[in-house]
Amino acid sequence: MKKNFLTIIILALGILNMILTAVIVFAVVPTTMRTNNLISKVASTIDLELESPDEKDAEQVDIADIEVYQIPEDLTINLKQDPGDTKSHYALVSVSLSINTKSEDYKSLQPTIATNQSSITEIINDEFSKYTVSTVNDNKEKIKTEILKKIQEHFKSDFIISISVGKLVVE
């Protein structure tokens, strides 16, 4: 009698297991797939990146196609004063521009960089002077991004692909 009772319990558990598996396959999996599709649609609607930001490497320029233009002199920039601070603060900055030699505008605009050096210097001065001595180091990447954007707007081209701040001394 014990064998029959154990056999019935095992059979009942086996049937219960199959029923729960069927519930998962037919109820939970399709719902999960629909939820995943919904999340993908919402993310694409609000333009979120679904892939890693490191996958932008396809857009990057090959290192052999980059020319570096060094601004000849270091720039001494007057920084914005902190509230309550009466002392003047300065930043000594060495800047270089990375230029894409494969850009369509390279041949026509590259010679104009030297003649537009005062405008480039003014853009750099304007951006750095928006920050105080205590915030300039924390916002270095933001400053570089803004400088790049303004220089690209100035030349009306994206042949300058990055800005490098080689030396930044703040006093």
97 shares its domain with 157:
yes
CA–CA dist 139, 77 (Å, integer): 15
15 shares its domain with 68:
no
63 shares its domain with 43:
no
pLDDT at residue 57 in the model: 43
164 shares its domain with 114:
yes
Percentage of the chain modeled with pLDDT above 90: 32
Domain of residue 76 covers 59-170
9 shares its domain with 74:
no
How many domains would you assign to the chain?
Answer: 2
> What are 100-115's pLDDT values in tens digits?
988 888 888 888 888 9
35 shares its domain with 88:
no
Q: Which amino acid, 133?
A: V
What pTM does this model have? Answer: 0.62
Query: Which parts of the chain sit beneath pLDDT 50?
Result: 55-58
150 shares its domain with 112:
yes
DSSP string, 6-44: HHHHHHHHHHHHHHHHHHIIIIIHHHHHHHHHHHHHHHH
Q: Which two tokens stand for residue 151?
A: 């220089």
147 shares its domain with 165:
yes
140: exposed, middle or buried (C-beta count within 10 Å: 0-12, 13-18, 19+)?
A: middle
